[in-house]
A and B are shown apart, each in its own frame.
Chain A
Amino acid sequence: MNNEVTSKDGLGAGIAGLGVMYMVYPWAASEIQGDAAFGMLAGLCLIAGFLTILCGIAVMRLKNVNA
């Protein structure tokens, strides 16, 4: 078993964290705005999508660094 972690593992952990965010957003939206949660959820997904794009760019950059 490899007991060391690299920035690649960190990136994976960050992406997993974003996944958790996606999973919790619907609950948060319904708790805060009830029936009118759609607009809030749309906005939150927009932000999370932006962060996911940053993740994708980071993955590509990491691949280049290791090449």
Chain B
Amino acid sequence: MKDQDTSQQLSSATGGGIPLTYVIALVPVASVMNVIGGTVASALKLPIFLDMIGTAVVAMTIGPWWGALVGVITNVTAGFITGPTSIPFAACNVVGALIWGYGTKWGWANNKLKFFGLSVASGVGVSLMAAPIVIFVFGGATGHASDVLTAGLLAAGGDMWSSVFSSNIIVSSADKILSSFLALAIIGALPTNLQVTGPIMKAESMGKVVLITAGTVVGVILTVVSMNL
């Protein structure tokens, strides 16, 4: 209840605003951060995406729909740089922004466990949007490192839908958990008056949550790498 009150006090929906200069500075920087993260992950053939860190920062600080804008800018820009493959996935970036943004507004970013849950929820939400795109638009494979996992699941007797969704949810959850905690570290370095969406916990003293996050990400990377060998 207290969280909600604080959130409402902070929310720009209730009349309080944030300086336009912050938005003008934050949105393009977040988009560039996403494009660079995505390009690096793809160049190194990492089994994660890293193209939603900026989206998470913006959605959790200044609002879900600003985050959605960052998502669209990211994927459209990446589409013009590396080819149109990333453009259909703009919708996934938008869905992630909405989950992070509204989750923060509803007080899920103010507590370690809830924040971990919010990260997993964004991973699941993005996978629900991504799986149909991967199947209908790309026929089940996009050339990403996670395709190995899909191929492995298909070889093990799974059908296309369950294989694509399963591999996507594993990789996406790890990616979103990592992105959420990286975003939390970045938010900690930003001025607190930028946090108008809702209360966000401090990045310090997270102990077990950091271990769980690291374990999840390392586990997924090892799984995909071992299937690659």
Contact = CB atoms under 8 A, between A and B. Distances in A.
Contacts of A20: 72-73, 76
A56 interface: no
Contacts of B218: none
Contacts of A51: 68, 91, 94-95
B137 interface: yes
A65 B16 CA distance: 13
B103 interface: no
Contact of B20 (A4, A12, A32, A39): A4
Given A47-B133, A58-B65, A65 B13 contact: yes
A25 B137 CA distance: 12
A7 B11 contact: yes
B207 interface: no
Given A31-B84, A43-B136, A47-B129, A21 B91 contact: yes
Interface residues of B, number: 42
A17 B73 contact: yes
Nearest to B105: A7
B132 A43 contact: yes
Contacts of A8: 13
Interface of B: 11-21, 23, 27, 62-66, 68-69, 71-73, 76, 79, 83-85, 87-88, 90-91, 94-95, 98, 129, 132-133, 136-138, 196
